[in-house]
Structure 1
Amino acid sequence: MSTDLAEQPFKFDDVFMQYYPCIYNFIRWLIQDEDCAQDLAQETFLRAFVNLGTRSEHNLSPWLHTIARNLCHDYWRKNKRRGGRELLLQDAFECEDESSKPLAAIENKETAKQIYKILNLLKSEQRTALLLREIEGLSYDDAARVMGISVSAYTSLLNRARNKFIKLIMTPYTKINKGLFTPKEYTVLYRWFGIDAWPEDPEQEIVHKAKHYFDNSALSFDEFRNSLYPFHLDQAILNRVLNKDPQIIGDFGSGTGQFTLKAASSVNLEKTYAFDISPKMVDFSQQRFKREGLRHIQCLPADLNSIPLESETLDIGYCLVVLHHLYDPGKAIKEMTRTLKPGGQLIIGDFGSHNYNLFTKNNKDLWSGFSPDQMTKWFNEAGLENIDIREEKDCIFKSTTQAGELVKIPLLMSSGIKRA
């Protein structure tokens, strides 16, 4: 063999720079050991260097993958194992032709991370079959050659691997109400829980998340509220009240009590109830009402799926910017409606439907707002009538992304009367 690289059909260093990232990551996913993957990748190119002059450029990729896979088999035989620790995702897709690799083209790193968790649950040969086709982008012929099997055998193996992959990725989906979520909420749940840590009871886990978030936010929540909420939001809600002489009202998800204070002071009330999932929010609001001398307000910690109040108690129920935190908003609306007297009014203000992930990334918002159709459906199912649901274009929630983009979300105002 000539050692003059100039006589080779193409330079070894060019081949190394072009293919090393792919080969390294291919080995890394197969053997699940980063240090050994580096050694085996280097061994792959050492063996390739010896025979590089005999290869044509068009079949370099399957040839290199075949060498790498054979080295992995030697590694497994020597170590008598096929497992390993979970690997990091970074730099997993550094191949030269991203457009031909469906899984590699995923831009959302959170989604990609979940996909690779699933890949690690597959049998070794199934994972290899998927990696070669879906990530490395090899043809059926080349992938079969790498695995040392016929094209028909590879096709059969790939189909089994795909079916198993789909079954695994859909496993969490069997634990939730399939008709409840849009794809946006389903994506958020995957981001929160992942594939390998999906809770048996997602609803209770989300209640726990909300309680934890608002307990930690109690002291700073007023500042956050004042920066995000429209300045005239509270008055816009109060303007929707039909009963001008209510006796008993309730604020569901009262937070630090800013809105509760205004609602309780607007008319001469007999009793006001303030419910919140966070005990620290409840304590904060109690101190606020005490300072204001409002003794008729009773603050209670409560999950809106199980409100500690007798049926047919309230003349008016308010729920302001709360539903998007809940697992099942329709269920909560039914429970709030239960507490209304016949003819009582439920008024809900929340985000209109949007496509920003600014709030869901912080593990506090499950829903990216709501559409009028969604709210109308839930109000009807709760037994409400005279339903009035509309986006208030002059009442806008505003925030800013880390990139400096201004976020604007309209208020969705919903009102309904409990059937007599």
Structure 2
Amino acid sequence: MTGRETLTVEETLAALRAVGETTRLRLMALLAEAELTVKDATAILGQSQPRISRHLKLLTEAGLILRFPEGSWVYYRIADGAAGAFARDLVSRIDSSDPVFAADRERFQAIRKAKADEAAAYFAKKASTWDTERSLHASDNDVEQALLAVLGDKPFQSFLDLGTGTGRLLELLSDRYASALGIDASHDMLAVARANLAKVGLNHAQVRHGDIYALNVPPRSFDVVAIHQVLHFLDDPARALAEATRALRPGGRLLIIDFAPHDLEFLRETHAHRRLGFGHDQMQRWVEALDLKMEKVADIAPKTTQENKLTVTLWLARDPRIVTDLPVADPTREVA
């Protein structure tokens, strides 16, 4: 099915046939709440993995749900467009007090809580490292306020957060975008991000496992692409910037947040930093090489007189290509 606002008669009949079975209707009700893996669905519905996989395959073929591989796991979610609207409307009309569906929701909430607890434990284990690094630079609040100011108040359609980590930018900008995708190479960090997004009820943002050097997203599909405190971990920042630029729509903006140049060599050993910050001239050269126009640069210095404190710099560049009325790809669709 397509991203149109309506379904053809054939698509409608296919959708009705797909949901016309108890297990598949139960799966649709669960997927209307959140993304699920086959393992999740198997635990909730108490059925075998092959059986659950078959039902998910039929729903996918009918265009009602989408399938997203992530390493050895596969996530499923409600489709976009008219098919997704049809599925959500259908689920909303089911009696919420039905004992079968109520029991499914109860088991689903138990699984969600277990995952949140697991993610919280991982975050706590890593928190001391992250807090040490945070203490070395301008406060998160100052950086976030500067970030919001640089982007401005005007809403935009689609947002891509590269190296999303805990999903903080997805949450911070949630009232600015219509849809968002966060990508990270760490499965553990994605678990943290999913738990955080679920905690605040943020359902118009997704997170995916991916490689910042080879983004599995359609080209020219995002209005804003952010790379927040990621480049200093990379061996080839310019390559990552080029890949991020590929995802920008004409007129789209690339937001880069990272450290200004510094000499804290211990960050290489204790925090796996590859680069000790980036200067304005260096970033300007990279941006110009990508045919982008640098629009704003802001330095956020720490509010302290102590030595060995890092300045954070925000760079905002724009793709100067003219926006046309040509159709663009669904930004959350994975590409082969």
What TM-score do the two structures reach when normalised by structure 2?
A: 0.54
Partner residue in 1 for 2:149: 239
Q: Is the 8 A contact 1:233 1:395 kept in 2?
A: no
Give how far 1:224 is off: 4.7
* Counterpart code for 1:335: E
> Which is bigger in relative contact order (C-alpha 8 A, separation at least 6)?
2
* 1:312 and 2:237 correspond: no
Give the SS at the match of 2:302: strand
391, 396, 399: which one aligns with 2:302? 396
Partner residue in 1 for 2:192: 284
Give how far 1:237 is off: 1.1
295, 307, 310: which one aligns with 1:409? 310
* Counterpart code for 2:257: G
Q: Is the 8 A contact 2:287 2:294 kept in 1?
A: no
* Counterpart code for 1:255: G
* C-alpha spacing 1:293/1:217, structure 2 compared with 1 (3 Å): closer
Give the SS at the match of 2:301: strand
Partner residue in 1 for 2:247: 339
* C-alpha spacing 1:378/1:300, structure 2 compared with 1 (3 Å): same
Give the SS at the match of 1:220: helix
CA distance in 1, matches of 2:173, 2:125: 22
Give how far 1:349 is off: 1.0
* 1:253 and 2:163 correspond: yes
Give how far 1:220 is off: 2.5
CA distance in 2, matches of 1:271, 1:315: 10
CA distance in 1, matches of 2:167, 2:133: 11
Q: Is the 8 A contact 1:247 1:271 kept in 2?
A: yes
* 1:272 and 2:180 correspond: yes
Partner residue in 1 for 2:258: 350
Q: Deviations over 1:31-56 (max 9, x none)?
A: xxxxxxxxxxxxxxxxxxxxxxxxxx
228, 232, 235: which one aligns with 1:324? 232
CA distance in 2, matches of 1:359, 1:298: 31
Give how far 1:257 is off: 1.6
* 1:369 and 2:299 correspond: no
Q: Is the 8 A contact 1:317 1:345 kept in 2?
A: yes
* C-alpha spacing 1:281/1:219, structure 2 compared with 1 (3 Å): farther
* Counterpart code for 2:235: Y
CA distance in 2, matches of 1:406, 1:412: 18
Partner residue in 2 for 1:360: 268
Q: Is the 8 A contact 2:167 2:193 kept in 1?
A: yes
376, 382, 392: which one aligns with 2:290? 382
Give the SS at the match of 1:330: helix
CA distance in 1, matches of 2:226, 2:132: 20
CA distance in 2, matches of 1:388, 1:344: 14
CA distance in 2, matches of 1:218, 1:272: 26
* 1:263 and 2:159 correspond: no
- Which ranges in structure 2 are unaligned for 5 or more consecutive residues? 1-121, 322-336
* C-alpha spacing 1:239/1:319, structure 2 compared with 1 (3 Å): same
* Counterpart code for 1:241: L
Q: Is the 8 A contact 1:397 1:411 kept in 2?
A: no
Give the SS at the match of 1:396: coil
Give how far 1:419 is off: 2.4
Q: Is the 8 A contact 1:312 1:340 kept in 2?
A: yes
CA distance in 2, matches of 1:281, 1:233: 21
CA distance in 1, matches of 2:133, 2:169: 11
* Counterpart code for 2:126: S
* Counterpart code for 1:418: D
Give how far 1:226 is off: 5.1
CA distance in 1, matches of 2:215, 2:193: 18
Whichever structure has more strand as a proportion of its residues is 2
Mapping of residues 219-238 of structure 1, within 5 Å = 219-221=125-127, 223-224=131-132, 227-228=135-136, 229-230=138-139, 231-238=141-148
* C-alpha spacing 1:258/1:223, structure 2 compared with 1 (3 Å): farther
Q: Deviations over 1:214-272 (max 9, x none)?
A: xx8784246456544513111211211157120111111111122321112x32x3211
CA distance in 2, matches of 1:219, 1:262: 24
Give the SS at the match of 2:159: strand
* C-alpha spacing 1:278/1:344, structure 2 compared with 1 (3 Å): same
Whichever structure has more helix as a proportion of its residues is 1
Q: Is the 8 A contact 2:123 2:192 kept in 1?
A: no
* C-alpha spacing 1:219/1:244, structure 2 compared with 1 (3 Å): farther
Give the SS at the match of 1:232: helix
CA distance in 2, matches of 1:251, 1:226: 20
Give the SS at the match of 2:156: coil
* Counterpart code for 2:143: L
Q: Is the 8 A contact 1:318 1:346 kept in 2?
A: yes
Give the SS at the match of 2:216: coil
Q: Is the 8 A contact 1:316 1:340 kept in 2?
A: yes
Give how far 1:328 is off: 0.8
* Counterpart code for 2:198: K
